[in-house]
Amino acid sequence: MEDRRPKIIEDLGFNFKIDFEKLWKLEVPITEINIEELVWHFDIPFWEKDDTDDWNLTPWEVLNQTGESKEHQKKVEEANLEYPIDIMKNKDKWLVLDGLHRLAKAYKLGHKKIKVRIISPEKIREVTI
Protein backbone atom coordinates (compact mmCIF):
# COMPACT_ATOMS: atom_id res chain seq x y z
CA MET A 1 0.00 0.00 0.00
CA GLU A 2 1.29 3.45 -0.92
CA ASP A 3 1.92 5.88 1.91
CA ARG A 4 -0.10 9.00 1.02
CA ARG A 5 0.45 11.21 4.02
CA PRO A 6 -1.28 14.55 3.95
CA LYS A 7 0.98 17.58 3.68
CA ILE A 8 -0.04 18.70 7.18
CA ILE A 9 1.55 15.56 8.63
CA GLU A 10 4.74 15.85 6.60
CA ASP A 11 5.01 19.53 7.56
CA LEU A 12 5.00 18.49 11.23
CA GLY A 13 8.14 16.47 10.62
CA PHE A 14 6.70 13.06 9.78
CA ASN A 15 8.51 12.90 6.46
CA PHE A 16 10.11 9.50 7.01
CA LYS A 17 9.01 5.91 7.54
CA ILE A 18 9.84 3.91 10.65
CA ASP A 19 10.67 0.25 11.00
CA PHE A 20 8.62 -0.30 14.16
CA GLU A 21 10.24 -3.63 14.96
CA LYS A 22 13.61 -1.83 15.17
CA LEU A 23 12.07 1.07 17.10
CA TRP A 24 10.62 -1.23 19.75
CA LYS A 25 13.99 -2.95 20.21
CA LEU A 26 15.88 0.27 20.95
CA GLU A 27 17.24 0.47 24.47
CA VAL A 28 16.11 3.89 25.58
CA PRO A 29 15.33 5.02 29.14
CA ILE A 30 11.72 5.56 30.15
CA THR A 31 10.65 8.88 31.65
CA GLU A 32 7.38 10.77 32.06
CA ILE A 33 6.05 13.97 30.55
CA ASN A 34 2.85 15.95 30.90
CA ILE A 35 0.15 14.71 28.54
CA GLU A 36 -0.72 18.31 27.70
CA GLU A 37 2.57 18.55 25.75
CA LEU A 38 1.22 15.91 23.35
CA VAL A 39 -2.51 16.64 23.11
CA TRP A 40 -1.99 18.83 20.01
CA HIS A 41 -1.71 15.52 18.10
CA PHE A 42 -5.46 15.05 18.60
CA ASP A 43 -6.17 17.86 16.09
CA ILE A 44 -4.35 16.12 13.23
CA PRO A 45 -5.93 13.43 10.98
CA PHE A 46 -3.42 10.68 11.76
CA TRP A 47 -5.94 7.86 11.35
CA GLU A 48 -8.45 6.61 8.78
CA LYS A 49 -12.19 6.22 9.14
CA ASP A 50 -13.62 2.72 9.15
CA ASP A 51 -13.28 0.97 5.78
CA THR A 52 -11.17 3.72 4.19
CA ASP A 53 -7.49 4.13 3.47
CA ASP A 54 -7.36 7.90 3.85
CA TRP A 55 -5.82 10.04 6.56
CA ASN A 56 -9.15 11.60 7.50
CA LEU A 57 -9.80 10.95 11.20
CA THR A 58 -8.50 12.87 14.18
CA PRO A 59 -8.02 11.37 17.63
CA TRP A 60 -10.56 13.92 18.91
CA GLU A 61 -13.20 12.33 16.67
CA VAL A 62 -12.33 8.94 18.14
CA LEU A 63 -12.36 10.20 21.72
CA ASN A 64 -15.70 11.93 21.12
CA GLN A 65 -16.98 8.80 19.34
CA THR A 66 -18.05 10.76 16.29
CA GLY A 67 -17.92 9.64 12.71
CA GLU A 68 -16.75 6.28 11.52
CA SER A 69 -14.21 5.43 14.16
CA LYS A 70 -15.23 2.13 15.76
CA GLU A 71 -11.95 0.42 14.81
CA HIS A 72 -9.88 3.13 16.47
CA GLN A 73 -12.22 3.36 19.47
CA LYS A 74 -11.51 -0.33 20.03
CA LYS A 75 -7.75 0.21 19.65
CA VAL A 76 -7.86 3.03 22.21
CA GLU A 77 -9.87 0.91 24.64
CA GLU A 78 -7.49 -2.05 24.26
CA ALA A 79 -4.28 0.02 24.36
CA ASN A 80 -1.83 -1.19 27.00
CA LEU A 81 -0.57 1.70 29.09
CA GLU A 82 2.21 -0.44 30.56
CA TYR A 83 4.19 0.35 27.40
CA PRO A 84 5.63 3.85 27.03
CA ILE A 85 5.03 5.87 23.92
CA ASP A 86 7.95 6.80 21.68
CA ILE A 87 8.48 10.49 21.00
CA MET A 88 11.07 12.73 19.37
CA LYS A 89 11.65 16.49 19.39
CA ASN A 90 11.16 18.36 16.12
CA LYS A 91 10.56 22.07 15.54
CA ASP A 92 10.27 22.61 19.32
CA LYS A 93 7.42 20.08 19.59
CA TRP A 94 7.26 16.54 20.84
CA LEU A 95 6.15 14.19 18.06
CA VAL A 96 4.58 10.84 18.86
CA LEU A 97 6.34 8.21 16.76
CA ASP A 98 4.47 5.26 18.24
CA GLY A 99 1.70 5.11 20.80
CA LEU A 100 -1.01 7.54 19.73
CA HIS A 101 -3.76 5.10 20.78
CA ARG A 102 -2.08 4.75 24.20
CA LEU A 103 -1.88 8.54 24.49
CA ALA A 104 -5.60 8.83 23.66
CA LYS A 105 -6.46 6.20 26.26
CA ALA A 106 -4.37 7.89 28.95
CA TYR A 107 -6.04 11.21 28.17
CA LYS A 108 -9.49 9.62 28.22
CA LEU A 109 -8.74 8.11 31.63
CA GLY A 110 -7.71 11.51 32.97
CA HIS A 111 -3.97 10.85 33.34
CA LYS A 112 -1.88 13.99 33.69
CA LYS A 113 1.44 12.30 32.81
CA ILE A 114 2.44 9.49 30.48
CA LYS A 115 5.47 7.22 30.24
CA VAL A 116 7.63 7.99 27.20
CA ARG A 117 10.86 7.00 25.55
CA ILE A 118 12.60 10.00 24.01
CA ILE A 119 14.19 8.90 20.75
CA SER A 120 17.26 10.92 19.77
CA PRO A 121 17.98 11.97 16.16
CA GLU A 122 20.83 9.43 16.09
CA LYS A 123 18.47 6.65 17.11
CA ILE A 124 15.88 7.80 14.54
CA ARG A 125 18.44 7.22 11.82
CA GLU A 126 18.82 3.64 13.07
CA VAL A 127 15.11 2.87 12.64
CA THR A 128 14.10 4.71 9.47
CA ILE A 129 13.41 2.80 6.30
Domain extent listing, the chain: 7-127
Please report the pLDDT score of residue 55 as a whole number.
Answer: 66
Backbone angles phi, psi at 116, to 5 degrees: -135, 160
Burial class (CB in 10 A: 0-12, 13-18, 19+), 78: exposed
Please report the pLDDT score of residue 57 as a whole number.
Answer: 82
Mean pLDDT of 103-113: 97
Q: Which residue has the higher pLDDT, 15 or 123?
A: 123
The CATH number of 7-127 is 3.90.1530
Please report the pLDDT score of residue 53 as a whole number.
Answer: 60
Longest dimension (CA), the chain: 39
Residue 50 has pLDDT above 70, yes or no: no
Residue 98 has pLDDT above 50, yes or no: yes
Look up the pTM and report it: 0.86
Question: How far is residue 60 CA from its own chain's centroid?
Answer: 13
